[in-house]
Amino acid sequence: MPFAPRHSSFVVLALTLATLAAAPPAPKPGSSKQAVPPAPTATPTAAPAAPLAKKPPAPTATTPLPGQRVSDAIEPAAKVILDRASQVAMNMRCIEVTTRGETIVWTDGKPNPMPLGPECHIYLEFVFREALFAPKMRVELKEGGTPRALMVFDGKNGIRLDLPTKLFLTSGIDWSSVGGDLLPSLPGWLLNERSYGLLRLTKQEGTEHLGERAAARVIGTETIDGLECDIVMSAIDTTQYNQDPSSAKAIKDGSEFVRIFETAAFARIDGLPRRIEYAPEIPGQGLSGGAERVLHYSALKLSDTLDAAVFSTAVPEGFTRFVAPATPEVAPVDAPPSVPEEPLMQRPPAVKPPTPTAPK
């Protein structure tokens, strides 16, 4: 069915949004481009270093972060790049970007790349700067260059259009109900950075479950779409999202954490990633079931405002509301024959004893 939802856990988690603090005023509209923190004056270079730790350390008296290992370190050159990217993400007002994703599944020790996912052109407008409200969003899905689907959320209402069938579906504030299979196309890194970044800055309880960057280093440079990029490899520790209350101690001492390796290409022109690769340290662990994910970001533009028509949720002429077909009731297969119920056991009626008579 065109509207069967398939949710992406890390995006839905990042956008399970609530207001935690008053938001600073949004930047005043002016130029069409936002100010971007300058790139580092010196080209970050990676000093020779040992690979990121992959073996648990010996027990220590204190551990800075749950799941962190004694050999973990965020190198200065990597921190400069990561801090700049975080600053751009937290201060962003509007972004336009094209995303594509691919999955690599390992079978018998060999990589098995899946077909590259469809192209999605995305518009996001963060109405409240550095706040956890869901942004206004528009997602246009294309397959082979042909538009196939459209999802829009204007901050209050959502709409999903299936263009080949001319069917539509609407929602209220629960925009994810119409997002469905388009959710994985959203720029998860950006949404996570804004949401988790503010949670950590305000020291909200439980943020250690969201994933901590335990180690990072610059491993080289690469040119992507004509842009010079710094490649940063990070080790991120995250929980298995175990809901069992008895796992609280295991989460605290780090034994419930799994390690994900993130390799991101940050463009020097604006500090934002153009490609991100995720791979679990141990096959089968992590949010992608042990598969490797590669996310590509292109045609990226930052601005202070977007045309209001971009986020219109009006139903186009000629579209019909999608109605899910009723599910017929099916009799169970090989059901045992019904057995007549026996009458409920009843207590026998009480017998009234005879009335004694006086002797004559």
Exposed, middle or buried by CB within 10 Å (0-12, 13-18, 19+), for 48? exposed
Alpha-carbon distance 167 to 318, whole Å?
9
**Inter-residue contact 23 to 129 (CB < 8 Å):** yes
Is 249 in a helix, a strand, or coil? helix
Name, in order, each residue with C-beta under 8 angstroms of 300's C-beta and a sequence gap of 6 or more: 95, 96, 97, 98, 267, 270, 272, 274
Report CA torsion sign: 6, 199, 21, 266. Answer: negative
Cβ-based neighbour number of residue 10 at 10 Å: 22
Please give the pLDDT value at position 267.
98
Mean pLDDT within 138-157 = 92
Residue carrying structure tokens 């390992």: 106
Cβ-based neighbour number of residue 225 at 10 Å: 13
Percentage of the chain with pLDDT > 70? 59
- DSSP class of residue 74? B
Mean pLDDT within 204-218 = 69
pLDDT-based confidence at residue 198 (cuts at 50, 70, 90) = low
Alpha-carbon distance 265 to 234, whole Å?
11
Alpha-carbon distance 50 to 247, whole Å?
32
The per-residue pLDDT of the chain, averaged, comes to 73
Percentage of the chain with pLDDT > 90? 36
Model-level pTM?
A: 0.70
- Inform me whether the pLDDT recorded for 16 exceeds 50: no
Closest CA to 271 of 15, 81, 115: 81
Is 302 in a helix, a strand, or coil? strand
Is 76 in a helix, a strand, or coil? helix
- Inform me whether the pLDDT recorded for 256 exceeds 70: no
pLDDT-based confidence at residue 269 (cuts at 50, 70, 90) = very high
Determine the straight-line distance between the first and last CA of the chain, rounded to whole angstroms. Answer: 96
Architecture of the domain defined by 9-20+63-321: Clam (2.50)
Domain boundaries of the chain, sorted by first residue: 9-20+63-321
Alpha-carbon distance 304 to 317, whole Å?
31
**pLDDT tens, residue by residue, 76-134:** 999 999 999 999 998 899 999 999 988 887 777 677 778 778 899 999 999 876 555 78
Exposed, middle or buried by CB within 10 Å (0-12, 13-18, 19+), for 283? middle
**Contacts of range 319-328, beta carbons closer than 8 Å, 24 or more positions apart:** 319/161, 319/166, 319/167, 319/168, 320/166, 320/167, 320/168, 321/167, 321/168, 321/169, 321/170, 322/2, 322/3, 322/162, 322/167, 322/168, 322/169, 324/1, 324/3
Higher pLDDT, 8 or 161: 161
Higher pLDDT, 62 or 2: 2
